């Protein structure tokens, strides 16, 4: 079976390493677009990962074989992407400016970890985020900050979690 998944190892500025599993969708500037899955083969998100934060990519191993098997099994019963996030995402038309006004989950590689934020503004080099606090997230509500795009490790654009939170809190989702 040909694996389409990759293990993407990243490291933040604090030298903390983690890995995620996803399908590579394409590149945008210095970021790689991925369709991320969880350890059970379910769609987690559409995310961008900064090229500079990637320390290693594994394209074939036993773990990826299991994830592929799980994903294929879930697709047969329409359980891989129940909210149809993937079919509503156009890789070719992805643009950071389309994030304005929506919720994102981020991992920022400098001194701060920004969980859930509203995107206030985006330009070529920076993104302005406003922290959003909910009972599920412990960010400092309302703090707004301009952050260089190049310092982000990961920006989660679409996910089941973001879709549900957007509906609950009255935000729009990517491209809508």
Which CATH number does the domain housing residue 118 bear?
2.30.30.100
| DSSP, res 138 | -
Residue 2, pLDDT above cutoff 60: no
Position 1 scores a pLDDT of 44
- pTM of this prediction? 0.88
Mean pLDDT within 52-81: 95
Mean pLDDT within 76-81: 95
**Structural domain contains residue 7:** no
Residue at token pair 């707004």: 144
Residue 38, pLDDT above cutoff 70: yes
Mean pLDDT within 96-101: 92
Q: How far apart are CA 69 and CA 123, in angstroms?
A: 40
**Structural domain contains residue 2:** no
Q: Count of residues for the chain?
A: 176
Mean pLDDT within 70-94: 92
Q: Is 151 helix (H, G, I), strand (E, B) or coil?
A: helix
Residue 136, pLDDT above cutoff 80: no
Please tell me the total count of domains within the chain: 1
């Amino acid at each position: 079976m040909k694996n389409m998944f990759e293990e993407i190892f990243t490291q933040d500025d604090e030298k903390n390493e983690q890995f995620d599993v996803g399908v590579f969708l394409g590149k945008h500037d210095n970021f790689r677009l991925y369709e991320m899955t969880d350890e059970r083969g379910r769609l987690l998100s559409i995310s961008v990962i900064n090229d500079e934060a990637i320390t290693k990519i594994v394209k074939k191993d036993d773990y990826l074989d299991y994830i592929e098997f799980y994903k294929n099994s879930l697709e047969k019963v329409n359980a891989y992407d129940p909210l149809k996030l993937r079919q509503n995402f156009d890789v070719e038309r992805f643009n950071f400016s389309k994030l304005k006004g929506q919720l994102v989950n981020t991992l920022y590689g400098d001194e701060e970890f920004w969980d859930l934020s509203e995107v206030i503004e985006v330009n070529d080099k920076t993104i302005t985020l406003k922290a959003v606090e909910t009972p599920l997230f412990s960010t400092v509500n309302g703090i707004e900050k301009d952050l260089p795009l190049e310092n982000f490790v990961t920006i989660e654009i679409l996910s089941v979690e973001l879709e549900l939170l957007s509906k609950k809190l009255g935000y729009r989702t990517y491209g809508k």
